[in-house]
Amino acid sequence: MDCFLCKKADQPVCDNCNLIGVCKEHKHLHSFEQECLPYRVVWKENRGNTLVALRDIKPFQIIFQDSPVVLAPFDDNDIQCFECSKPMETWNPCPVCSLPVCDQECSIGPNHSAECEYFADSNLYSKGVPLNIIQTSISPIRMLEVKRKNPTLWKLVDSLEDHLEKRKKEKFWTYIKDTVFPFIKEHSTKDIDTNLASRIIGIYKTNSVKWEKRFGDKKYTIGHALCPIFSLLCHSCVNNTRYTVSEDHITVRACLPIKTGEEITSQYRGPNEGNILRRLDFPKNWKFECDCVRCMDPTELGTHSSTLVCPQCKKPDLYPRNSTMRSDFECRSCAFEMSYDIALEDTNRADKKLKNKTLLDSVESWEALLVELETQFHPNHFLCMKTIKTLIQLYGLRKGYTLTDLSEELINRKLELCRRFMDVYNIIEPGYRLWKGRLCEDMLGPMSLQLQSKFENKQIGKLEFMLGYRNIIKTVKEAAKCRQFMERNEEDDKMMGEYYKKWIEPLSNV
């Protein structure tokens, strides 16, 4: 049987699950905490290597853990230690290569060793070489050392897509060719194969993931990491996994049920904007056009996240004529037509207006903006949803609008906005999600106040009260499940437990 990961033929079958072949090199990657992991690599036309489920996978089940082969700073990061990635206020030069490090201990650390060897005695700090040029050189240099020292790991990296021919046509590649490679050639103690370094940069640009690390009580984005198994996850806008990043590894878990044989997918681009903006990013950043169920549906699964109000008949029925990326818009009520460029221009203009507002603006002005947007766009349009998300925050937090200040009318308004947001995003991002957990937590207070008020004012009886109480308990459980996709710590869990208790306990005494 083929190996589940590298597909090497005639490998022994896993003697635990009896579902897949495991080669000697990758046997350790098939299990986690003594349990066989539920995926294998399959080649699919027009998608390349993908992960598919070996068996039914339940929500929250770990699909795999992966660690970075190379973690490197972004091309434009501020000063940070090249060993531990801690942000630095000033450049403290390594005594060997002069690149920024925290101290003597970091200067001899394993992460920094590759570039330290390449740039030994280069005095880059005193020469005033721009930091961004140095940062861009780090990922190929570190990966070249992986190739030299760990051929098995390099094979996994080398199997990944680079889209190099397309990337060489971009302006960024001129910078690589005319600035970064000459810099390495001039200052490095070692020669590098620029063809191989080019492929590495292409692989990194296509497959790397943003990496975060906590220093003290604050989390920082420290760069991008290449995790070879995680890189095999293909994209779907309506994906079925969620990943969390810890200090040295990434954990991928199911966020909704995945059936045997179903593709396991990630999400390269967030869901919060409509297709009119989102779809442009896929060919730009990842060199493919997304053909998922959301992108192939002009109504975006019936959510109408990019649909406009028709200027002729005034109905919110103006959306793309078909699923091509730059399709012109057509009103389904009166057949009015609008070019894609004009629809994009109208959307960008309204988006810019929204971005110019802040949380310091009055609640009334945000409500007025929502009314204005609904004259131009479908009520479920992504710009309306962004405005609603802000209003949900303001009702309950803003001075004069805290939960105890809110009138019954405004409590109902907050809950109406929460449910409206959830109705749309339960379609766009089904399953257990961080946004859903936070929204459930935001609804908990208003639901409790509303239920208690109705009972005390004799608007509902004991039976209706108990049904409402059960619904609140269900909301708490939903929020708690979604929090499993957050970075957990005892202090935060305790704080959220107290928050849940604050709103439930008074009701349990009624």
pLDDT at residue number 280: 94
In this prediction, residue 489 has a pLDDT band, given cuts at 50, 70 and 90, of low
Residue 457's SS3 state is coil
Spatial separation of the C-alpha atoms in residues 14 and 27, rounded to whole Å: 8
Residues near 250 by beta carbon (within 8 Å), at least 6 away in sequence = 65, 66, 67, 68, 209, 225, 227, 230, 243, 244
- Please state, in angstroms and as integers, the Cα–Cα distance from residue 455 to each residue in 138, 212, 388, 443, 465, following that order: 64, 47, 29, 18, 7
**Under 8 Å CB-to-CB from 304, ≥6 apart: which residues?**
316, 319, 378, 380, 381
- Residue 25: exposure state from Cβ atoms within 10 A (0-12, 13-18, ≥19): middle
193 token code pair: 């194969």
CA distances (Å), 420 to each of 251, 255, 277, 364, 435, in order? 31, 22, 22, 19, 14
Residue in 258, 248, 165 with CA at minimum distance from that of residue 214: 248
Q: What would the mean pLDDT of 492-507 be, rounded to a whole number?
A: 79
Mean pLDDT of the 242-263 span: 94
* Strands (E) located in 308-417: 318-320, 329-331, 337-338
pLDDT of residue 45: 86
Task: Identify the helix (H) or strand (E) that includes residue 234.
Answer: strand 234-235
The three-state secondary structure class of 160 is coil
pLDDT band at 510 (very low <50, low <70, confident <90, very high): low
- CA dist 412 and 349 (Å) reads 31
pLDDT score recorded for residue 462: 92
Looking at every residue in the chain, the average pLDDT score rounds to: 94
Q: What is the pLDDT of residues 83-130, one digit of tens each?
A: 999 999 999 999 999 999 999 999 999 999 999 999 999 999 999 999
pLDDT of 504: 84
What pLDDT is attached to residue 509? Answer: 73
Q: What pLDDT is stored for residue 96 in this prediction?
A: 96
* pLDDT tops 90 at residue 46: no
d(CA 402, CA 471): 23
Given this model, what pLDDT does residue 487 score? 67
Describe the strand order of the beta sheet including 329-331 as a list of residue ranges: 318-320, 329-331, 337-338
The predicted structure's pLDDT at residue 490: 67
Give φ, ψ of 13 to 5 degrees.
-80, 140
CA neighbor of 139 nearest in space, from 166, 165, 169, 162: 162
Residue 250 — φ and ψ, nearest 5°? -120, 135
Mean pLDDT of 443-466: 93
Tens of pLDDT, residues 345-370? 999 999 999 999 999 999 999 999 99
CB 390 within 8 A of CB 370: no
Bridge partner list, 212: 221
* pLDDT band for position 506 (cuts 50, 70, 90): confident
pLDDT bucket at 503, cuts 50 / 70 / 90: confident
**Residues 378-396, mean pLDDT to the nearest whole number:** 97
In a 3-state reduction of DSSP, which class is residue 329? strand
Mapped onto helix, strand or coil, the DSSP state of residue 349 is helix
297-349 pLDDT tens trace: 999 999 999 999 999 999 999 999 999 999 999 999 999 999 999 999 999 99
Instruction: Assign 6 a pLDDT band (cuts: 50, 70, 90).
Output: very high
pLDDT at 24: 94
Q: 304 with 431: CB under 8 angstroms?
A: no
Per-residue pLDDT for 505 more than 90? no
User: pLDDT at position 138, please?
Assistant: 97
